[in-house]
Chains A and B, each alone.
Chain A
Amino acid sequence: MKFPLVLALSLLATPSLADWQQTLDAARGQTVYWNAWGGDARTNAFIAWVSEQTETLYDVSVQQVKLTDTAEAVTRVISERTAGQDTGGSVDLIWINGPNFLAMKEQGLLHGPFVGDLPNARYLNLGPTSPASIDFTVPVEGLESPWRLAKFVFTYDSARVAEPPRSMADLGAWVAVNPGRFTHPDPSNFMGSTFLKQALIELAPDASVLQQPVTDAGFAAATAPFWDWYDALRPNLWRGGETYPENQSVQQQLLNDGEVDIGMSFDPASTAAAIADGLLPDSARVFVPENGSIGNISFVAIPYNAANAEGAEVVANFLLDPAAQAHMQNIEVLGSFSVLDPSLLDDAAKAAFAALPTAPSLPTVAELGPTLLEPHASWMTRLTAEWARRYTK
């Protein structure tokens, strides 16, 4: 078991203010190259806001490196290690999740543990089973710092769909009646694989095995009903399941164009945000599977060879500031739910969250239903590989 070790490490890394002052001093004047997916204009604008704030407060500026895919940043760090560039690397901070985190952690490509050193980490629930401590069942061990909450939701156009399907079994029936009106992003994209995982959790005979690393026998048993369901679903998908949108944003565009009736997102507020931006019709709404949906936390990590690691820590800490989190949760800004534990906040911070504006297409926390744990990362790799083997001919 790794837990005692983690505990020991986190005790050792208890923040002392003197250490943090050293970090702040070292960070002064640094420019942090934050590698983050750049396909969402609101996220890009939020990162620009973060840069303004950290520049004023700490003399640290943030430069977003807009990625088409997070793995680009991982590849970059690997190229640098291949070339022997173990310091002064070009990537300072990565918006990272799941398999990319696992890959970097296993290859020893991450700086840290550093989360325990961040003063604002005191607002986080870092208990061993908290979502902030486990990324896709992989223990975080202080190597990445949370910044925004993600939860799987469907988006639909209420003007076209009266009663959306509330479970994967219902979805199968709905698609059979409405052929060509549903699809999911390509499983090589994380949103596409999340959809498959959500279906697997709902359809697996015993979902608890998904929390353990996958085995050959276990995989066959757990996925058999899923493949039956998917084989029936696929011919009735958009374009006969021959091609898939590249990611959820492209699918949102299809929803806006009326090519499909249902979209999906990992951000419950994205629908309200898209309506405000004129990217979805006013009648767009959110629904979640009735038995709960997969949720996780988006993290930021620092590569082992980052040129501006101190600045990156300052930015990671700023992202956890209650005022910054409330600003982020504002639907008019980004609308991403906060990662802070409400019970750890002081009254002023609580009031800031309570005062945030709302919108008809913005679900309440109660409407979002229970959060299901991500399966072990090995399941996702196996599931998407098997999907490709079956359907990529």
Chain B
Amino acid sequence: MRHDGRLLRAVVLGVVGLGLIAPIAVGLWQTGRAAFGILPALGRDMVSLAPWHELADLPGVATSLRLTLVTGFGSTLLSLMLATGFCAAVHARMNPSVGARMLTPFLAIPHAAMAVGLAFVLAPSGWIARMMAPFAGWERPPDIATVNDGWGLALMVGLMVKEVPFLLLVILSALSQIPVARHVAAGRALGYGRGVVWIKIIMPQVWPLIRLPVWVVLAYALSVVDMAIILGPSNPPTLAVAVTRWFTDPNPAMILPASAGAILQAVIVGLAVVLLIVAEALGKRLGRWWLRRGGRGLRAEPGLWAASAGVTALMALGALAMVSLVVWSLAWRWSFPQILPESWSLKPWTSAQDGWIRALSNTLLLAGATVGLSLALAIAWLEGEDRAHRTRAPWAEALIYLPLLIPQIGFLFGLNVGFLQLGLSGGIWAVIWAQALFIFPYVMIALSDPWRALDPRMIRAAAALGAGPERRLWAVKLPVLIRPILTAAAIGVAVSVAQYLPTLFMGAGRVATLTTEAVTLSSGSDRRVTGVYATLQAGLPFAAYLAAFMIPAIVHRNRRALSGATAA
């Protein structure tokens, strides 16, 4: 039995190593070579630091760097505070599964689509301004930088609208593993306020469970491209956008400093994670001292209510953004200061029909293939752990998270070169592979906890009845776990639909998906067609989440314990 498990583990590890880790290493290696002056296509074959000097001399690099740090750290920190405060304020009164369902649309909509919607809602000529115009007496939109502002505030808001729901979900699922009500009761009996109990008792238990997702959020916020193009400042933009621009500069020699910038981007994310680890260690020491001091005077309630208000405002903004996309896709003329379109039309849908049907079918194909692959791999991995009776080593956990922590721009150029050398680029297979790099980790993360939470008595009963490992997997584990498996699949679909850079680089632009089309069109002037693509882009993952709720309810309609509460 042990032997069987070892073989399975070896196969899974081999697939992960060759399929996921090797491409990233190759990508970083190729980008790194260009960053140190080696790019044979341009006749450069001497190792040098010149690309770094060129990078440092590019105008606005320092500002780009500052913007990246401010928006990345700022949005992550604020999101974390808001999500924690919100949970502390409303957790006792909330049904977690209802809460998770309400968060679904926010999780499903890709960053780019949300950004397009928010840009319209927030702009000086946007929805909010149009609602205020009759009262403020604006005949023309005010000249205020409410999007693309120099400090990146709009970008931070955009990131927070996406990250707060994600963190809420993560925190809620962590809280389900902690006896919150008992701890709060005990704390309050000892004379601590509700907020202080959360800070002193609950959060220190939650943090280890949400540490990795927070790293992912931070890494993402520091290196986001699509949302930063749409909401962020342009002169100069954030580092990730600047690097993307340099990679596509008319002057091919810019690839060298661009590569240096890409490596710098990777280093920043690495340092940011190190910083979080150091802060955690410091926090542990200070926190213990603070706990032992036992102060009860602090009142954190106003902070909690502020956080709740902040979260509500963000959700309202996000909902408004999503509705505006649908409205735009049905509008014909809609000018300032009209609150609703002057004329409606289905033309945006019908005239772009050929385009969106092709993009939709490509997107479906990619999502199906990548999610199928990732699920199979994740189940094989988890089953391998079960059969070996082992828990996951930290290095294995790190391996899973690696693709999410390294900025895409850091290795995609190099990865493309690597794929080309293997004769793999430009096809749907290359895109499937590249997307799976980012989908597998999410599927794995979503599936791990429910898998481990499976009631071991069922497996033991099955074994006692003579079922071998294969039968236990197919007849017991998978049917019982259908809801978390489908939820993981839905998350995978959402991640796949949202992939922009991997699809663009690996598909040589030939594989048009809803997201590549939406981002391309958002550089054009037709918000209505962008609305069509963004609506579809948000609708597809939403449908996947819906299916994840519905299918188990239908399959297990006569098994009450399996069809109701979520195991996630």
A242–B150 touching, CB < 8 Å? yes
Compute the total of residue contacts between A and B using a CB distance below 8 Å.
176
Which listed residue (A71, A98, A180, A243) contacts B249, Cβ 8 A? A71
B335–A74 touching, CB < 8 Å? no
**B94 at interface by CB-CB < 8 Å:** no
A258–B508 touching, CB < 8 Å? no
Contacting residues of chain B (409-461) with chain A, CB-CB under 8 angstroms: 413, 416-418, 420-421, 423, 425-426
Q: In whole Å, how far is A78's beta carbon from the nearest beta carbon of chain B?
A: 5
Known interface pairs A65-B510, A256-B525, A281-B335; A78-B42 also in contact (CB < 8 Å): yes
A239–B125 touching, CB < 8 Å? no
**A1 at interface by CB-CB < 8 Å:** no
What's the Cα separation between A67 and B519 when bound, in Å? 10
A80–B143 touching, CB < 8 Å? no
**A152 at interface by CB-CB < 8 Å:** no
**A278 at interface by CB-CB < 8 Å:** yes
A250–B525 touching, CB < 8 Å? yes
Binds A, one of B83-91, B230-238, B268-276: B230-238
A247–B523 touching, CB < 8 Å? yes
Q: In whole Å, how far is A88's beta carbon from the nearest beta carbon of chain B?
A: 9
**A100 at interface by CB-CB < 8 Å:** yes
Known interface pairs A44-B355, A258-B141; A78-B41 also in contact (CB < 8 Å): yes
What's the Cα separation between A245 and B145 when bound, in Å? 12
Output the residue of B333, B351, B526 with the most chain A CB within 10 A. Answer: B526
**A186 at interface by CB-CB < 8 Å:** yes
B509–A392 touching, CB < 8 Å? no
Which B residues are CB-close (under 8 A) to A388? Answer: 59-60
Q: Produce 1/0 per residue, A87-99, CB < 8 A to B.
A: 0001100000011
Which A residues are CB-close (under 8 A) to B40? Answer: 82
What's the Cα separation between A52 and B497 when bound, in Å? 30
A253–B512 touching, CB < 8 Å? no
Which listed residue (A186, A246, A253) contacts B527, Cβ 8 A? A253
**A69 at interface by CB-CB < 8 Å:** yes
B526–A38 touching, CB < 8 Å? no
Which A residues are CB-close (under 8 A) to B150? Answer: 242-243
Which B residues are CB-close (under 8 A) to A391? Answer: 235
What's the Cα separation between A100 and B149 when bound, in Å? 30
Which B residues are CB-close (under 8 A) to A239? Answer: 143, 145, 148
How many residues on A have C-beta within 8 angstroms of the other chain's C-beta atoms?
71
B510–A90 touching, CB < 8 Å? yes
**A48 at interface by CB-CB < 8 Å:** yes
**B19 at interface by CB-CB < 8 Å:** no
A103–B250 touching, CB < 8 Å? yes
Q: In whole Å, how far is B464's beta carbon from the nearest beta carbon of chain A?
A: 57
What's the Cα separation between A66 and B521 when bound, in Å? 9
Q: In whole Å, how far is B293's beta carbon from the nearest beta carbon of chain A?
A: 46
**B524 at interface by CB-CB < 8 Å:** yes
What's the Cα separation between A71 and B234 when bound, in Å? 18
A257–B420 touching, CB < 8 Å? no
A256–B335 touching, CB < 8 Å? yes
What's the Cα separation between A258 and B247 when bound, in Å? 34
Q: Produce 1/0 per residue, A342-384, CB < 8 A to B.
A: 0000000000000000000000000000000000000001000
B248–A393 touching, CB < 8 Å? no
A33–B141 touching, CB < 8 Å? no
Q: Produce 1/0 per residue, B219-252, CB < 8 A to A.
A: 0000000000100011110000000010111111
Which listed residue (A70, A85, A102, A243) contacts B233, Cβ 8 A? A243
What's the Cα separation between A85 and B417 when bound, in Å? 10
Q: In whole Å, how far is A65's beta carbon from the nearest beta carbon of chain B?
A: 4
**A217 at interface by CB-CB < 8 Å:** no
A249–B41 touching, CB < 8 Å? no
What's the Cα separation between A252 and B528 when bound, in Å? 14
Output the residue of B249, B251, B523, B528 with the most chain A CB within 10 A. Answer: B523
Give me the 6 closest cross-chain CB pairs, A-B, nearest first. Answer: A39-B524, A83-B420, A180-B143, A257-B125, A392-B60, A249-B525
- What are 28 A-B contacts with C-beta separation under 8 Å? A41-B351, A41-B529, A66-B512, A68-B519, A70-B250, A72-B509, A75-B252, A83-B417, A84-B421, A90-B425, A100-B250, A102-B250, A246-B229, A249-B524, A249-B525, A252-B525, A257-B123, A257-B336, A258-B336, A259-B124, A259-B125, A278-B333, A278-B345, A278-B528, A391-B235, A392-B235, A392-B236, A393-B59
The chain A residues found within 8 Å of chain B, CB to CB, are 33, 35, 38-41, 44-45, 48, 63, 65-76, 78-85, 90-91, 98-100, 102-103, 107, 179-180, 186, 188, 238-240, 242-247, 249-250, 252-254, 256-259, 274, 277-279, 281, 381, 388-389, 391-393
